[in-house]
Amino acid sequence: MLDTVRDTESAHALPYLIPALLELLRSGTVALHKDTVEYQFRRVLLEIINRLPVNEAIRPYATPIFNCMLHILRHDNEENGVIACKTLLDVVRSYRPLTDDSLSEFLSIFQEAFRNMSGLVEQTLSNDSVVLDPNSMLLGIRSFKVLGEMGMVMVIMSQFHRPMVSAAVQTTIAPAFEVLALEAPAQKKAREDYEAMGGIWAGMALSIKNISAYSDFIHTQIKVCFAPFGGVFLLFRVTRCYRI
């Protein structure tokens, strides 16, 4: 319905709608299981925020929306974290609400997500990893998918707030290199065993039990390559993988 309402009509409703939605998201209970009512409810609330039309009636709420999405990234599940990142992209692109405080909070979440990746790789991509329940979700702060989307948010921030972001980016370079250097333990063993026999390993190890998690992990590393740090990360990854 929001997509079909004219700007002049939506401007009357948005000042009442947006604060109510943001309060529900902040005060509601986080759900980590897809088959719960709370999960569906929070997903709908985030989808409404994500689909808000771009107009001047929303500009006064750009900062509260931005801050609420940071709250979602730190506390909510990974699927809601992905939607929150998409909303952050749109808000930064359309209204440019970034401040030193909000940038500092985003970087804090980004760096915490980087630190969580080593343990997540070990937990989900080892030979003895437990098969993940498809109805259960990880927290966004411990998600491959969310980390990759946060990298894309950094790209947009760098484009629209380069003087503010350029110095802050330096603090994420070292942890980003560490994530790029990670390798799934099951994949590492399969590769080393194959190379010990004189072969060249290609593809995913058959011993990996969580295939979707492995795919998310690889996609995240690719997105980190193209975060605002430039092509040097891609060169690092290619050099490491192909020994050139």
For the chain, the first-to-last Cα distance in angstroms comes to: 54
Provide the pLDDT for residue 119.
Answer: 97
Structure tokens of 160? 């629209």
Provide the pLDDT for residue 5.
Answer: 61
| pTM as predicted | 0.87
Instruction: Tell me the three state secondary structure of residue 33.
Output: strand
Provide the pLDDT for residue 183.
Answer: 95
CA distance 187 to 44: 37
Distances in whole angstroms, Cα of residue 119 to Cα of each of 29, 89, 112, 124, 210: 26, 28, 12, 9, 15
CA distance 191 to 62: 48
Q: Could you list the pLDDT tens digit for every one of the 244 residues in the chain?
A: 656 666 667 777 888 999 999 999 999 999 999 999 999 999 999 999 999 888 888 999 999 999 999 999 999 999 999 999 999 999 999 999 999 999 999 999 999 999 999 999 999 999 999 999 999 999 999 999 999 999 999 988 988 888 888 888 888 888 999 999 999 999 999 999 988 998 888 889 999 999 999 999 999 998 887 665 544 444 444 444 444 4
Provide the pLDDT for residue 236.
Answer: 44
DSSP state of 92: H
Could you give the angle at the alpha carbon of 95 between the alpha carbons of 89 and 98, nearest 5°?
Answer: 75
Rg (Cα) of the chain, in Å, rounded?
20
CA distance 239 to 124: 26
CA distance 118 to 129: 14
Provide the pLDDT for residue 162.
Answer: 84
